[in-house]
Amino acid sequence: MSAVPSTVHLLFFYFFAAMTIASALLVVLLRNIVQSAFALFFTLFGVAGIYILLGADFVGVTQVLIYIGGVMILIVFGVMLTHNSYSVDIFNRLGTLVMGTISAIVTFTIIYYAIRQVPWRLIGYKASIPTTRPIGTLLMTDYLLPFELASVLLVLAMVGAAYLIRSELRVGKERKDRDKRGAGLERKDA
């Protein structure tokens, strides 16, 4: 394959890039917090499209599976369960606007210079090379420790969540028992 992207590639790239940027702007600018959570869906989807255009089909599909099927749903649930999520208006005060602009410019400058510093190696367009097997092999050999550490972290988070729920149940049960005892005592007194 050639090192020069075909017109179709470019067309799709601009489509996904525009989708990512426009929806990211919506996430930040929309006043309704639930709507901005749903706008994030299009941002994540656009990023997945760009991954696939880069030839990383496995990463792109995983992005859809993990971020849209998992993280997105969690975020939306979290937003929906927030108190008053219907009426909450995110109001951008002038102070936050100034601070936000400054931090955005600083972040952009850092990223821009970082990208300029890296000597990029162009490998051309090889969209049809299977990537699943090399990724699996690398995860089981060179990157086994980070991979296992990440799974340990996930297990810890899961156990922690389960423990929190259990302790809430326990407290609730104790309170109920106490109430029951209290009610019994009252009856005895009467």
Q: Where do contacts with another protein occur on this chain (CB under 8 A)?
A: 6-8, 11, 32, 34-35, 38, 41, 45, 57-58, 61-62, 64-65, 68-70, 72-73, 76-77, 80, 128, 130-132
Residues in the chain: 190
d(CA 105, CA 90) in angstroms, rounded, equals 22
Token pair of 123 as six digits: 């490998």
Measured from the CB atom, the residue of 6 and 101 that comes closer to another protein is 6
Q: What is the closest distance, in whole angstroms, from the C-beta atom of residue 86 to another protein in the complex?
A: 8
| Residue partners of 27: CB distance under 8 A and separation at least 6 | 36, 37, 39, 40, 43
Measured from the CB atom, the residue of 6 and 107 that comes closer to another protein is 6
Measured from the CB atom, the residue of 114 and 129 that comes closer to another protein is 129
DSSP state letters, 80-98 = HHSTTTTT-B----HHHHH
Q: What is the closest distance, in whole angstroms, from the C-beta atom of residue 58 to another protein in the complex?
A: 5
Q: At 138, is the secondary structure helix, strand, or coil?
A: helix
Q: At 120, is the secondary structure helix, strand, or coil?
A: coil
| Residue partners of 13: CB distance under 8 A and separation at least 6 | 5, 50, 53
Q: What is the closest distance, in whole angstroms, from the C-beta atom of residue 145 to another protein in the complex?
A: 22
Q: What is the closest distance, in whole angstroms, from the C-beta atom of residue 5 to another protein in the complex?
A: 12
Q: What is the closest distance, in whole angstroms, from the C-beta atom of residue 95 to another protein in the complex?
A: 30
Measured from the CB atom, the residue of 17 and 68 that comes closer to another protein is 68
| Residue partners of 50: CB distance under 8 A and separation at least 6 | 13, 16, 17, 20, 60
Measured from the CB atom, the residue of 1 and 110 that comes closer to another protein is 1
